Structure 1
Amino acid sequence: MTDLRLVIFDVDGTLIDSQAHILAAMQAAFDANGLPAPPRADTLPIVGLSLPVAMARLVPDHADHHAPLVAAYKDAFATLRLSPEGAALSPLFPGARAALDRLASEDHTLMAIATGKSRRGMDHILDLHGLRGLFQSVQVADDHPSKPHPSMIHACLSDTGVDASRAVILGDTTYDIDMGVAAGIHALGVTWGYHPPASLTRAGATALIDRFDALPAALEAIGMPA
């Protein structure tokens, strides 16, 4: 069907408020490697990148620690996920579930995920929030170069058969926006995530939304009506 549209979602900072989980896992990873953890102001801007790229940016002078930091972060993140407070560490942002359910009910709308999370981490989120079956394509860091490389977007388009002109990425970082621009699709930014809204506009976001119930109107405005 030529009138199908595809809405691709980033996860951390867009659908999921995972800030507490990420910061706790990062602290544990650096502690395990005998290094001082980077401050919050340095950590949050790298959310969305694949872990090897993120660690290289956080500690460029400690290349020998990059792989151990990645491994320790993954272990800490999984341990925290299984802790009693695990479910509270990665809640959906307000309005996210209602927006997903609304889009899923539309005959001409498909949805996809393009995330810097691992497959294991994404599977946890899908199960935690009962999101399985909502997305026609789920692309994770295990299978692609790090954002902003457009590989994940290309895979979403291939999986769904939707033309790039009828696809949009919704994200909170310049990596998401840059990825969308590189893939030739529309890009919308959210104001509640990890990068300043002005940086998303500079990167090429067509528009910004400050709440999920503004998404339908934003899609209409960029020429992607339901």
Structure 2
Amino acid sequence: MKYELVVFDWDGTLLDSAGAIVQAIQAACRDLQLPEPSDAQARHVIGLGLVDAMRHAVPELEPENYQAMVERYRFHYLSGDHRLVLFEGVRDMLTSLQSAGHILTIATGKSRAGLDRALDHSGLRSFFQASRCADECHSKPHPQMLDQLVAEFAVPFESTVMIGDTSHDLLMASNAGVDSLAVTYGAHPHEHLLEHKPLACLHTVRELDLWLKNYA
């Protein structure tokens, strides 16, 4: 086993939620009468901690209005998050990895409450042995989430792989000194992910599953 510890991002990697996040950011801007970011601008901040994401997506936002923006975002996102679905093949992939003896974990820009809600809705909680969230650690691309997961399981950095759909995930892996895999079906475009030199860019969950079976 090359990668004992497998770390997944959540939004855009396991859950098909990027579009809903973009819409919630844009709706929150409309509520607060702020300039509405384009789809590309809103997609770029997916994976960051919520305050960091809002700061970058809406540079006109004054610091005293960060909390109001976060509250409106949460209102719009949570009103429909129960309808979001896993990407096809995710459950089978996780079952295969778990059966093979890998330690499965999550490193996400979601809050702890948000991730707990998502794990319960998706029914995936039993697959993961640990997780780190943006309100517990520094936001991506800081390596703290990965540093803590590696330390928790006493796994070498070279036996760890980070899987995500954004440059924030890949930069976090690079900053932590661990390998990374990119998936292109989430928030960031293929060519942007390639710039950060992941081991591979996979275009579907099936491709990711096959790569992990062959190389992990």
TM-score, with length taken from structure 2: 0.91
**Following superposition, which runs of at least 4 residues in structure 1 exceed 4 angstroms of deviation?**
none
Q: What's the counterpart of residue 85 of structure 2?
A: 91
Map 1:47-86 onto structure 2 (within 5 A).
47-64=46-63, 65-78=65-78, 80-81=79-80, 86=81
Stretch moving more, 143-152 or 4-13: 4-13
Cα separation, partners in 2 of 1:3 and 1:36, compared to 1, 3 Å: closer
Unaligned runs of 5+ in 2: none
Share of identical aligned residues, percent?
A: 36
Letter in 2 for 1:87: H
Q: Could you tell me which runs of 5 or more consecutive residues in structure 1 were left unpaired when the two chains were aligned.
A: none
2:3·2:161 contact (CA, 8 Å) conserved in 1?
no
Tell me by how many angstroms 1:11 deviates: 0.8
Q: Confirm or deny: 8 A CA contact 1:17 1:93 kept in the other structure.
A: yes
Q: Is the 8 A contact 1:137 1:160 kept in 2?
A: no
Partner residue, 1:203: 196
Superposition map of 1:71-220 within 5 A: 71-78=71-78, 80-81=79-80, 86-88=81-83, 90-107=84-101, 109-219=102-212
Q: Per-residue displacement from partner, 1:76-114 (whole Å, max 9, x unpaired)?
A: 323x14xxxx432x210111111011111122x110000
Higher mean C-alpha deviation, range 50-59 or range 179-188: 50-59
Paired letter, 2:143? P
CA positional deviation for 1:67: 2.7
Q: Distance in 2 between matches of 1:135 and 1:219?
A: 17
Partner SS for 2:180? strand
Query: For residue 14 of structure 2, what is the aligned residue in structure 1?
Result: 15
> Structure 2 CA distance, aligned partners of 1:3 and 1:36?
47
Alignment-mate amino acid for residue 120 of structure 2: D
| Cα deviation, residue 217, structure 1 | 4.5
Q: Tell me how many residue pairs correspond in the alignment.
A: 215
What secondary structure is seen at the aligned counterpart in 1 of 2:155? coil
With over 3 angstroms needed to count, the CA separation of the structure-2 counterparts of 1:39 and 1:105, relative to structure 1, is same
Which stretch of the first structure deviates more once superposed, 56-65 or 122-131?
56-65
Deviation of 1:20 after TM superposition, in Å, equals 3.6
When the two structures are superposed, what TM-score results if normalisation uses the length of structure 1? 0.87
CA contact (8 A) 2:183 2:208 kept: no
> Partner amino acid for 2:76?
A
